[in-house]
Amino acid sequence: MKRFSIFSKIFLLFVCFSVVLSARWGGAGSMIDDVLNIPYVEYAPVIDGELDEDWVFGFPNVHMFAYIFEQPDSFHGYSDFSSFYKAAWNEDGFYFYGQVVDDSLTGTADAENPHNNDCWEIYFDGDNSKTAPYDENDVQWRWVYGKTEIQSGWADKGNWAWAPTANGYSFELEIPVEELVKNGGAGIPFFTKTREQLFPLEVGQVIGFETQVADNDGGVREAMTKWWSESNNSWQDPGLFGTATLADDDVMLEIKDLEFSPTIDGELGDEWVDVMDNEVPEVKMSAYINEAGTFSGDSDITSYYRVAWNVDGIYFFVRVIDDSVTGEADSKNPHNNDCFEIYFDGDNSKTSPYDSNDIQWRWVYGMPVDSVGKSGWADVGNWAWLKTENGYNFELEIPVAELLKGDPPAQLFPLEYGQVIGFEVQVADNDGGVRESMTKWWAADNNSWQDPGLFGTAVLYIALGISEPAAANVALSVPPVVTTDNVVVTLSVPAGIAAKVNLFNVAGRLVKSVDAIGSTVSLDLSGLANGIYLCRLEAGNSTKTKKITLIK
């Protein structure tokens, strides 16, 4: 299949950046086109090291797949050392919860070299400039396991707590807004330092971000896990950080609409663009479940997906990095195989157990459904597997006529703009005859098969250009990019027809509405976050919609 042009990729980057500013592409804590969305939390969590209800709902685990081995022979798999985290924010501060699987916490503490201890580190680049060396809004902060006092070589930021777990420990942290500043220098009392805030705590703020955990099992630092980079030079080079955006409190995955249904062949073809010629974004499946303790890094199992829709069906393209796809197939227990699973909750009620519009479907790697009489596998859709250099691709079409459940069958949910659904996807890894691990989009919990409350949330999003009533007699003109709090739109409506100008965010929520009188309308954009909005003129049975990108 033909690949996307350089121009298309450049245009895509611009659109993706604009949408990142709107903090609307993806579930809380999820990865969309390599950008982490950090969700807004209304109430600050209690800092006690416990994973309480403040964190459980709406905050998926982000697994730290990047490994650095300083003592390679000492690593004995996932149960030896692994970690995940959750992050959140509000106007009062930045919040963090981390959990570490570590089979030994008895390493000798190195007071002179705190980085050699069991510890957690956070890195910020406040303006995401990612230039080396560190500037005034780049910091590295460290908290050493079990330490509660402020001490040289450790972070003097925030309120934190450690808690032992059955297989390691947890770490919980609050950095109040007044402490989200950079230290002035060694030996200078904290209260006398001249400090500037690293970055504003507001929706749409884009930052450089990294987090790291060190493992000391016997007196020396043996290994590190990191969220983003496999380099040990983050302490001096912000260019090695990842990117995050401060999202709002009701972010959900936007399932983009396609003008043309893709060819189902396992190749990422030109059809995977929406009606505005933007490539459907790739979402990383960041939640991780290990069952056999054999995980050996992101080349072992890592997965990404794209999802789109139109009135004819819903479509998936999955890219899996897997160093072994030769595991023995288990025909009696299909979930134990290399496979891809989809979960839908058609009305997003998220009540347990499954009801009439909740479903789990599975496709097993390389196996046509008919080869096993459809037992245990999905019996819907058209799909294709394609072996790649480092794993495999899976492409799927579920036609609207098969988006059904029950007897008699009923449609799970309508394929129409604004439909909100519960949603999850999962990839299982079988390297040697058993299911060893799973990657998921939303929840690091293996009970999605029985509890829709563990699903994330998605919305069927519509780009401009289709599914609008005929609009031959009305016209709308708006500036494509707005940098002020007010914008004047120009319109044309036949005499005698009442009209409105409505402004929607990209999740379909109405944020402004003005009666259209005359040939111009002024929209007040104050208080709105940076990002993409849809300006729609509604006049009688006709509409016109234009896109506005707000960058203030």
Least confident of 223-237, 376-390, 439-453, 457-471: 457-471
Dihedral sign for Cα atoms in the order 307, 310, 314, 319:
negative
pLDDT digit string, tens, across residues 68-87? 888 877 776 667 888 889 99
Residue 30 has what pLDDT? 65
User: What pLDDT, on a 0 to 100 scale, did the predictor assign at position 151?
Assistant: 52
| For residue 245, pLDDT beyond 50 | yes
Q: What's the mean pLDDT when you consider all of the chain?
A: 81
Q: Could you tell me if 130 and 236 are in contact, meaning their C-beta atoms sit under 8 angstroms apart?
A: no
Q: Which of the pair, 192 or 449, is modelled with greater confidence? A: 449
Residue-level pLDDT at 206 = 92
Which whole number is the average pLDDT over 247-265? 82
Residue 22: which H helix or E strand, with range? helix 6-22
DSSP state of 552: -
Pairing of strands 456-460, 253-257: parallel
Name which of 148, 207, 286, 175 is nearest 23 in CA terms. 207
Residue ranges of domains in the chain: 6-246, 255-460, 475-550
**pLDDT at residue 478 is higher than 50:** yes
Alpha-carbon span 223 to 70, nearest angstrom: 5
Q: What is the pLDDT of residue 189?
A: 46
Q: Is 14 helix (H, G, I), strand (E, B) or coil?
A: helix
- Sign of the dihedral through C-alpha 324, 326, 327, 331: positive
Q: What is the pLDDT of residues 322-373, one digit of tens each?
A: 988 865 567 678 888 899 999 999 998 888 999 999 999 999 887 765 554 4
In the chain, DSSP finds a helix count (H) and a strand count (E) of 2, 35
Other C-beta atoms closer than 10 Å to the C-beta of 307 total 22
Statement: residue 95 has pLDDT above 80: yes
Q: Which amino acid is at 301?
A: I
Using an 8 Å Cβ cutoff, are 209 and 123 in contact?
yes
- What is the pLDDT, as a whole number, of residue 218? 75
92-102 mean pLDDT: 93
Peptide bond into 480 cis (omega under 30): no
| Distance from C-alpha of 547 to C-alpha of 464, rounded to nearest angstrom | 8
Out of 59-63, 161-165, 495-499, pick the least confident.
Answer: 59-63
Whether residue 188 is predicted with pLDDT greater than 50 in this model: the reply is no
- pTM, whole model, 2 decimals? 0.61
309: left (phi over 0), alpha (psi -120 to 50) or beta: beta
CATH class of domain segment(s) 6-246: mainly beta
- φ, ψ of residue 487 in degrees (nearest 5): -135, 140
Order the strands of the 520-524 sheet from edge to edge: 475-477, 486-492, 520-524
pLDDT of 387 over the 80 cut: yes
Cα dihedral sign, 420-316-530-137: positive
Q: What is the CATH code of the structural domain delimited by 475-550?
A: 2.60.40.1930
- Please state which CATH number belongs to domain 255-460: 2.60.40.1190
What per-residue confidence (pLDDT) applies to 321? 93
